[in-house]
Structure 1
Amino acid sequence: MNIRTLEDLMNRLLLIAMVAFLLISACSVNTGMPQPTKEVENYTGLVTKVAVLPLKTMDARSRNIRKILTVRDLDYIFSAYPQYELMDMDYVADEFAVFGVPDVDDMDLEELAEVAEATAANVLILGNISSLRSDLYAVSLRFYSDRTNELKQVTFNVPNVKEERWKQMNESLMKQLDQFISNEVEKIYNVAVNYYAGENYTEAENQLKTTIGLDPENVEAFYYLGATYYKTERYDLAEESFNKVLELNPTHYQTLVMMNEMYETTGESLKRIAVMEKIASMNDDADLWLVIGNLYAEAGEMTKAETALQSALALDEDNAQIKTRLAFLLFDQERYADAIPYLESAYDSFPENDLISRRLAVSYQRSGRMSEAIARYESLIRANPNNVQAYLNVVSLYRNQAGETTDQVMKSELNTKALDTMNQLIRIQPDNAMAYLNLASIYLAQNNHSEAEANANETIQRDPSLYQPYVILATVSQSKGTTEYNRFVDLEKRAADAVGRQATTLSRQRDAAKVAANGHFRRAIDYLNTARTLTGEPESLRDIQNRLTSLSNLVSQTSGY
């Protein structure tokens, strides 16, 4: 081989290398498959299958860009979106060819639905490409949803330069597809809610599951799915869905309310209380904290009950009901010294409540503070002679001490103090019903029935809503009836042994005593029935009912022969 021949050969090889380099460079512009620039996030939701039907070209220059889009660009773009699965375009083209559609732009909804079913696609993308100039192309597409039969028109331009083209496809094609799916999700969700409202729970469940599949963080869909499970008594699944809501939104109020209702239905008290605590904390709800305290107390969780009641009191420090409940809780645990401040406050709010009065007295006594308490109230009266509550409180303590002592002299002194104090209060405040009620109670304890009856009636005149004066009047009437009944029994014995005129006289007296006893017993029943309508206190109602039962027997015994 001569030198010229060798030189020609080298030139040819160099030319081939240059051509190859140019071809590779060209491919790098439009056909090189790039690597993803960022890591694709994990996606656990429902993947939407997207089928791109063969794109129609409107002119010859558009064919090359169509090839680039379908061979490489679409795969690359969709690879960054794990919520979508771009179906194999050759497979889609083969399935589409079976339908023999001459022009994709002319396809109607029925035809689109058939193609979607044949390809098992959730979304179809179809349309055309036309050249605007040698380096710019217009892409006109339609999105079709097999789930909702929705159509959406999308138009955007793509240039020759691949980086700009990919950017445009991300900003136009994929953003529009995301929006299309988002609208689809909203529509499916609304359909589901309508099914739920119509109590079609089977369809509601199906649509809600689809919604959640497409939008795994859709809080409202999880809520309604949980509600659907609850309505169909699948409580474990309901709890799972509700917990998912709270994972996404810990303060979702509707979920907490329904969980509270569900746990009440299932009898899961501790779970219910935990939910109620969240609601109470969110709403600063003192009344709900009170309920929580009661539930904890019922469950024997006294420390938690006290904490809940303290939370209630922190929100509503003047709430007498909360203070009373806390006082009783502490009293029941024999924490008398701790209970006293709350019992005092409760007594100030409900001075007519015998249970509070008795527990306050017991707390003073058990904590060794009875004399201290009396001295405190006497001092308050001296400092302020118009302090009505101080009069009532100290009289309550006098009466409790009088009831407990076995020393008759001391009992008499304490009752005298109580009477003097109430008469002093009446001089200051003549229309104070509680003053007359205390007088009636003291006289009743002394068996001074006429004064007890008179002051009970004075109490009713000033405050007819109090039940205690009716109980006092019933007690007086029952006592009178008992006296007449005992007289009747005695006269009946004497009449049985008598003869003649004496027997007749004793018989008439016996009958009159029996009638009188019956009248007193019936009057006592009337008073107690009135008292029963004026109180809601369980302990008082039980006492009234027991007395009514006894009186009914006495009425029966004194009715006829």
Structure 2
Amino acid sequence: HLKKEVELSHLAQHAVDFDRTAPESWCVVGNCFSLQKEHETALTFFRRSVQLDPSFTYSHTLSGHEYVSNEDFDKAAACFRDAIRSDDRHYNAWYGLGAIYFRQEKYDLAEYHFRRALSINPQSSVLHCHLGMTQHANGKPYEALDSLAGAFRLDPRNPQARYQRATIWMSMDRPHEALSELEKVRDAAPREASVHFAMGRVLKRLNRPEQAMRCFLTALDLDPKDNNLIKAAMDRLDEPDVDEDVSAF
């Protein structure tokens, strides 16, 4: 997506005016509505693109991502498979299937599909990160750390990879390492409430309750919608967290 909505809107109008019979034109229009979170309308234009040229792989993949946004995973998976049948080196579709299987907690299948995507596009830090997330969820922390190291080699500034590495360190009861990672994520994304909340969890584990409380208060200020979760953590600040799932912030 082009993140500037006005520019994308102008591009969409220009594309359709230029060639209404090109599948690319309708994908641009669909992207415009996708950016506005009007997923059903976006799907209408992506389907139009498919009708114009069923072999245009991106039409299927973009449709799949819209169905994922609607949490219609069966239709999303069908679209991604159509994309792969059209072009089996279309790594976005392999990634899309992997993401669906990850959300369904089918981690072996997710790992397989992320690896297929990486075999096509090994220079993607994002793909290495998703593989690491899957391996961690599948009980393979050391393999996950290796995959995240690959993500860092390709993009040392990848905050998601650093956040995931902090999650793994916590699951291995290494809170000092987790805190070091989270501090770097906070510096890169200071207004991300989940990072401050995670830091509060780690600081609690390190028996630094005053600093933990400050992090929880910052998280609450940044994201009032999540106040039940944050307030519950604040209320339990003086309680041991031995029964908590430290692997998930």
TM-score relative to the length of structure 1: 0.23
- Larger strand proportion of the pair: 1
Point out the structure with max Rg over C-alpha: 1
